[in-house]
Amino acid sequence: MKFLQEGFNVFVLNYSVDIAFPHPLIEASMAISYVRENSGKLHVIADKVCVMGFSAGGHLAGMSATMFRYSMEHGISRCRPDAVALCYPVITADRNVSHTGSFDVISGGDEQLRSLLSLENAVDENSSPAFIWHTFEDDCVPVANSLLMAQAYARKRVPFQLHIFEKGGHGMSVDNRQTWASFDENTKPLELSQWTQLLVRWLRSRGFEISID
């Protein structure tokens, strides 16, 4: 609703969970391709598609940004997003800072696949530009996940924007009563809700605008 309010068209993907790679990536790629192929009917700009994901969904969004060739090799066209928004994302398989449960699921327990899906190692020059945000206090998915992804983007010189907020736990979404079960107006982090406007400005700077056609 926040992004509809800003004039963007928004779609929600109900994808398979508790299932190993490649099923979630294939489903996300098919959704991107579908939106592009039906851009006129859906009133979107076909070359301005951003994928947003939160937590484990952030890992899926990150896969769509870095591993889209896998989907293309399996017959899904036009599935590289034009941008991604990674919100307190699961990124790394490094057990020191990993969200091990997410990686146990997506890898199906295969150690070789687990390493392949550590996304800081999957970034290359053709990866989608990324907006990344996290909180320092996140005690579920450590902030190191976002820092590792940002470092990988910097190494490959792929455009990105990174925001780390000091206060706030995991799963705070857009930081309001409707999306965060522990919301408390008196104690909520004052800065955190700014992330939506920061993302809107970043998207608009990259040419994401309302179509008048």
**Average pLDDT of the segment spanning 186-196:** 76
Structure tokens at 58: 């952030």
My answer on whether omega of the bond before 24 falls inside 30° of 0, hence cis, is no
55 pLDDT above the threshold of 90 = yes
Going from the C-alpha of 49 to that of each of 8, 17, 83, 106, the distances in angstroms are 10, 23, 7, 24
Rounded CA gap, 56 and 53, in Å?
A: 8
**Pairing state between β 160-165 and 83-87:** unpaired
Going from the C-alpha of 118 to that of each of 87, 138, 145, 208, the distances in angstroms are 16, 19, 10, 29
pLDDT above 70: percentage of residues in the chain: 91
Cβ(48)–Cβ(82) below 8 Å: yes
Rounded CA gap, 35 and 42, in Å?
A: 7
- pLDDT tens-digit series, residues 83-130: 999 999 999 999 999 999 999 999 999 999 999 999 999 999 999 999
- pLDDT tens-digit series, residues 12-45: 999 999 999 999 999 999 999 999 999 999 999 9
Predicted TM-score of the model (pTM): 0.93
Dihedral sign computed on CA atoms, order 175, 177, 180, 185: positive
- Alpha carbon 159 to chain centroid, angstroms: 15
**Average pLDDT of the segment spanning 184-212:** 83
**Average pLDDT of the segment spanning 151-170:** 95
In the predicted model, what is the mean pLDDT of the chain? 93
